Structure 1
Amino acid sequence: MATKSKTSDAKVPVLKGKEAEDKVLDYMKRMNRPFGAVDVSANLKGSVPKAAAQKILVALAERGLLVQKTCGKTTFFVANQANLEDMPAEKLAALEDEYKKLDEENKQLVAESKTLSADVAKLKSAPTDEELAFEIGKVADAIEKAQTHLEPLRAGMPLVSAEECEQLEAEWMRWRKEWVRRRKVFSTFWSLVTDALTPQEARELGEDLGIEQDTGEHGVLEKGPLCSSGSVLGKRRR
């Protein structure tokens, strides 16, 4: 039968007497921050129970090793600052130099981090290989179409003169205006004729009379560049 594996977290032994007192005092001096009995016991991983920690803290305060302070109903203890060893000037200067060095290194790391973050942002905004391939394909198709349009010109086909363009423009504007006018006249007349008919009856009447309505191509033409305001054969007037 297989034996049970040991847990990775070994149980912390509970300290008592002088050993527990030294443990608490050393912790309070090392941290040099205000703590309550609950915090001390928890931070020492339960090696000193909460009740014992409270008694030890009170006893250390009575002996002047700690200072006891009360905030409302809560009691805190902190290491007596008068008992702490003064820091030599040489050690303070060394710590100051070390701080300045670390601060400078930190600034360099922050600057490097910003640069790397900017590089990452550029890489994320750049198109992928698949997107580049797709765009290259679109450009290649556009080039091929343009080459096809250029072939007649390269073969010697005469260009359309400015006068011919003006004539085509005039013809286009004239007949488009006539188209729009006739369509309006028909729409007005047809509305009067079919006012008392249902949509199905009106459709049947139109079929009997052989009336041809505008097709989808007419709608596309109306919305296209040729019919846009100020357009001349698809080009804007200047």
Structure 2
Amino acid sequence: MSKGKDAQACKGVLDYLNRQNRPYSAIDIFNNLHKEYGKTAVEKACETLSEEGKISKKIYGKQKVFVALQSQFPDVDDTEMKEMDQKVAILSEQVQVKQEEVRKLEGEIKGFNSSISTEEAQKLTRELDHENQTLSLKIAKLKEGGNVISPQEKERVYSSRTKYVKEWRKRKRMGNDILGAILEGYPKTKKQLYEEIGVETDEDYNVAIPEI
């Protein structure tokens, strides 16, 4: 590497350490500078600056840590330290709150991603409506004394019933999972949530999922 690039890397590392005033390893500096300089260049700059007495180097076993010279910074009195500690405590609390909000939102997103889309639900509804109309017509004919259905048709009807009962259970479970995820971050009761978003349950109408 040319001397010019070496000098740029030294200046970049020195400016960064003075600005941050925190201990870092060479690899940390390399990553925090967004790989502006090569890894080898950063390591070499750290060693050069340390040898020139422009930064301090601490060795902990195999780990080398570099930090800005503390003599260049003004002393901080106890009052300032307490104020800083208070700010750190407040910011840490705010970070925890934000992390909790993110966790709840991620849970909601996961729930919604596992559910079917509006278009899919509308298509399924149309299919079920058509199936119900067909079966209703057949039932009406049977009540009027029409022909008895064949064993094959009877088997098909029972198979369809089993299919839709399973689908009913599946979608109810998915709906409960989504609502459960929302309730984790909802400040009120489940009943209040259902009333607020207009959810009507099977239980509201004394309906139970049939046995298969």
What range describes the TM-score normalised by the shorter chain of this pair? 0.3 to 0.5
Q: Whose helix proportion is higher, 1 or 2? A: 2
Larger radius of gyration: 1
TM-score, scaled relative to structure 2: 0.42
TM-score, scaled relative to structure 1: 0.38
